[in-house]
C-alpha cells in the first residue's frame, strides 16, 4: 500500500515547474505511507506523485506505472488480488510484475468499465495522454482512503490522506467508495451495486458451513500475495484468530511443499498489544499457542497511549471517539511491527459488519432489521474501522489487509439470510461463523464473547481516557461546545477533547464534515438505537454499554 497525489485540469498558462514542486511538497505530508520510493509524472494536463511501500514486485514495480507507448500513467494505492487471472485474458505488453499494472491493461480494453472487474483494495488515478482523459476510482468498501477537492484555480486534486489537501482545497471531501470519476463525462458514477443490499434477495438463502469456511479460507489465501515479510494481527478475538488460523494453515503448506514463491517468511508471526493484564493479551497467547505462530505480545502503559494521542489523531484524520480509542493501541503496535521488519499484516476488520457481531445486534427485532443494519455498517466502514486500520498501521509504513472484506467473500456472507446470523435468546453473536470453523481454534477463543478492540486492550484504557478528558475540558468550555463546534457538536468531554486536537490539524467546516456523527451504542448506527428503549439512555460506543449482554457491562 502506498499514497497517491494527483493534480488535474492544468491549463496551458500554468507554471508546471512550480506546480510540480508544490505537488511534491504536498505529497511529502503522506510519505509515511510509502517510505520506499517516490515517483513523479508530469504532462500538460496532469501531475501525479506516488509514494511507494513495496509489497509486490519491489524490484521493478515503481510508480506511476507507464504503458509501453508512454500514453498511460497510473498511480495506485492498493493491491489487486485477481491480477493474474485478469492478465491471462488481456492482450497487453506488461512492463513490470506489479499487480497494479493490470489496471492499465484493462483500461485499454474497457475504459472506465474496468473497475468492477477488480477484486482488491485500491484508490487510483489514471491519465490517458492521447485522449486527455483521466479516471479516479476507489474500492467498493473504501479500505483504501482517498480524498479530493479543488484548489483556488479550480484544478481537481486527489490524495490518499486529507492532510495533503489541507490549505490547498477549501472543499476537501472523502471520495466515495465504490465510485469512479471519468473526466470525459465529468460525472461520479457508482459501479458497485449488489442484489444483497435488499433483504428480500437473500430471504431463505443459507450457506452450508463447509462452503462458508472454504470461501473465507480462499479469501485469506488470495490476500497472502506478497514478496516481503508479513504477519497477522492477533487480538485473541474470534475474527483475528480465524484470520491467523487460515494464514497459519497456508504457511505450513508452504513449508511442507518447500515453495517459497508466495512469501519470504514461511513461519507465521503474530502480534498483539494491550495494557498489563488485558483480556486480549491473554486470549492472543492462547490462540498463538494453539496455532503455532511466532507470537509477540506487547504491553503499553496508559501514559504511553495518552502521549501518542495528538499524533494518532493527525494520522487517522478523525475525531470519532471509538475510532480514536481503538486506533491508539493499534498505532503503537504498528510501530513495534515496523521495527521488526514486517511490512504487511492481515487483520480481522469487517467480520462484525458482515455477520452482526457487535453486541447490540442481540437486540435486533427481525432478520430484516438485522440485515439492513449490516448494510448500513458496511456502507460506513470507510469512515470507521477501515480508516482506523489503514491509517494507524500506515503511519509507520505497515500495510493492513482485511480478508473478511474480500469482495468474493462479501458476496457469500451478505447473500446469506440474516435469520442465520441472528443472535440472542441464548445464541451467541456470529454463531454461524463460529460453527463453520469448529475445531480450528480452542473453544475458549472460538466461543469468546465479542470484545471491541478498544475494550479488549484493557478496560482501564477507556476509563482512563474519560477521566483525563474530564480534567482537560472545563465546565465553561463544554457548556459552549455548540458555539465552537456547531457541526457534530461533541456530546461528551472525551469527544470535545478529541475534536479540539483534530481542529488544530484540520481546520474548517469541510474537514469536520468528513467525519460522520450521531449517537451510537457499541458501535451501532444511530438507526439501531430504536431497537431497545434503554439504548437511548446508555449510548456509549463501548461494547460494555450493552447491559444484559456483555459479561462485564458498565454499571
Active-site residues: which are they?
A: 2
Distance CA 465, CA 462 (A): 5
Joined grid coordinates for residue 59:
524490484
Distance CA 484, CA 137 (A): 35
Q: Yes or no: say if 211 and 248 are a contact pair by the CB < 8 Å rule.
A: no
Joined grid coordinates for residue 190:
457508482
Distance CA 66, CA 70 (A): 6
Nearest to 119 by CA among 75, 91, 78: 78
- Phi and psi, residue 298, nearest 5°: -105, 140
Distance CA 8, CA 126 (A): 11
End-to-end alpha-carbon separation of the chain, Å?
42
**What count of residues does the chain have?**
555
Residues 6+ apart with CB under 8 A from 94: 87, 101, 105
Nearest 10 degrees: Cα torsion 509, 515, 518, 519 = -130
Distance CA 35, CA 529 (A): 43
Task: Catalogue the long-range contacts made by 200-203 (C-beta closer than 8 Å, 24 or more residues apart).
Answer: 201/415, 202/371, 202/414, 202/415, 202/416, 202/417, 202/418, 203/417
Task: Return the DSSP state at 294.
Answer: E
Q: Yes or no: say if 135 and 148 are a contact pair by the CB < 8 Å rule.
A: no
Distance CA 237, CA 454 (A): 12
Amino acid at each position: 500500500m502506498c499514497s497517491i497525489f494527483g493534480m488535474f485540469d492544468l491549463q496551458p498558462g500554468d507554471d508546471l515547474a512550480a506546480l510540480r514542486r508544490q505537488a511534491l511538497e504536498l505529497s511529502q505530508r503522506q510519505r509515511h505511507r510509502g517510505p520506499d520510493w517516490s515517483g513523479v509524472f508530469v504532462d500538460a494536463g496532469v501531475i501525479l506523485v506516488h509514494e511507494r511501500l513495496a509489497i509486490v514486485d519491489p524490484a521493478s514495480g515503481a510508480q506511476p506505472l507507464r504503458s509501453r507507448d508512454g500514453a498511460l500513467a497510473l498511480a495506485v494505492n492498493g493491491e489487486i488480488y485477481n491480477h493474474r487471472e485478469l492478465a491471462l485474458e488481456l492482450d497487453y505488453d506488461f512492463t513490470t510484475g506489479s499487480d497494479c499494472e493490470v489496471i492499465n491493461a484493462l483500461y485499454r480494453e474497457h475504459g472506465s468499465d474496468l473497475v468492477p472487474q477488480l477484486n482488491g483494495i485500491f484508490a487510483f488515478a489514471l491519465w490517458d495522454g492521447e485522449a486527455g482523459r483521466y479516471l479516479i476510482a476507489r474500492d467498493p468498501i473504501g479500505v483504501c482512503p482517498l480524498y479530493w477537492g479543488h484548489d483556488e484555480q479550480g484544478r481537481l486534486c486527489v490524495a490518499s490522506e486529507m492532510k495533503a489537501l489541507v490549505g490547498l482545497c477549501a472543499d476537501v471531501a472523502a471520495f466515495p467508495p465504490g465510485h469512479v470519476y471519468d473526466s470525459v463525462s465529468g460525472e461520479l458514477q457508482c459501479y458497485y451495486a449488489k442484489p444483497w443490499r435488499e433483504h428480500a434477495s437473500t430471504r431463505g438463502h443459507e450457506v452450508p458451513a463447509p462452503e462458508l469456511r472454504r470461501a473465507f479460507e480462499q479469501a485469506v489465501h488470495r490476500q497472502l500475495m506478497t514478496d516481503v515479510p508479513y504477519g497477522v494481527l492477533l487480538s485473541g478475538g474470534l475474527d483475528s484468530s480465524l484470520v491467523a488460523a487460515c494464514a497459519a494453515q497456508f504457511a505450513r503448506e508452504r513449508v511442507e511443499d518447500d515453495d517459497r514463491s508466495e512469501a519470504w517468511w514461511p513461519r507465521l508471526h503474530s502480534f498483539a498489544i494491550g495494557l498489563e493484564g488485558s483480556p486480549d493479551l491473554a486470549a492472543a497467547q492462547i490462540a498463538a499457542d494453539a496455532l503455532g505462530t511466532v507470537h509477540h505480545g506487547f504491553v503499553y502503559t496508559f501514559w504511553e497511549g495518552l502521549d501518542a494521542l495528538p499524533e494518532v489523531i493527525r494520522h487517522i484524520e478523525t475525531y470519532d471517539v471509538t475510532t480514536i480509542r481503538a486506533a491508539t493501541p493499534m498505532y503503537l503496535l504498528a510501530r513495534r511491527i515496523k521495527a521488526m521488519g514486517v511490512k504487511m499484516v492481515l487483520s480481522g476488520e469487517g467480520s462484525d459488519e458482515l455477520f452482526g457481531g457487535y453486541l447490540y445486534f442481540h437486540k435486533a427485532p427481525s432478520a430484516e432489521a438485522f440485515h439492513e443494519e449490516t448494510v448500513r455498517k458496511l456502507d460506513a466502514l470507510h469512515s470507521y474501522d477501515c480508516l482506523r486500520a489503514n491509517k494507524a498501521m500506515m503511519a509507520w509504513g505497515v500495510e493492513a489487509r482485511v480478508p473478511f472484506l474480500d469482495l468474493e467473500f462479501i458476496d457469500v456472507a451478505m447473500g446469506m439470510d440474516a435469520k442465520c446470523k441472528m443472535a440472542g435468546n441464548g445464541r451467541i453473536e456470529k454463531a454461524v461463523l463460529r460453527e463453520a470453523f469448529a475445531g480450528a481454534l480452542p473453544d475458549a477463543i472460538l466461543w469468546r464473547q465479542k470484545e471491541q478492540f478498544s475494550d479488549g486492550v484493557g478496560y482501564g484504557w477507556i476509563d482512563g481516557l474519560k477521566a483525563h478528558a474530564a480534567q482537560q475540558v472545563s465546565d465553561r468550555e463544554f457548556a459552549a461546545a455548540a458555539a465552537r463546534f456547531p457541526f457534530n457538536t461533541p456530546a461528551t468531554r472525551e469527544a470535545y477533547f478529541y475534536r479540539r486536537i483534530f481542529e488544530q490539524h484540520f481546520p474548517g467546516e469541510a474537514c469536520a464534515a468528513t467525519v460522520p456523527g450521531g449517537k451510537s451504542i457499541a458501535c451501532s448506527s444511530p438507526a439501531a438505537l430504536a431497537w431497545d428503549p434503554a439504548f437511548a439512555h446508555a449510548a456509549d460506543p463501548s461494547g460494555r454499554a450493552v447491559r444484559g449482554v456483555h459479561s462485564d457491562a458498565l454499571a
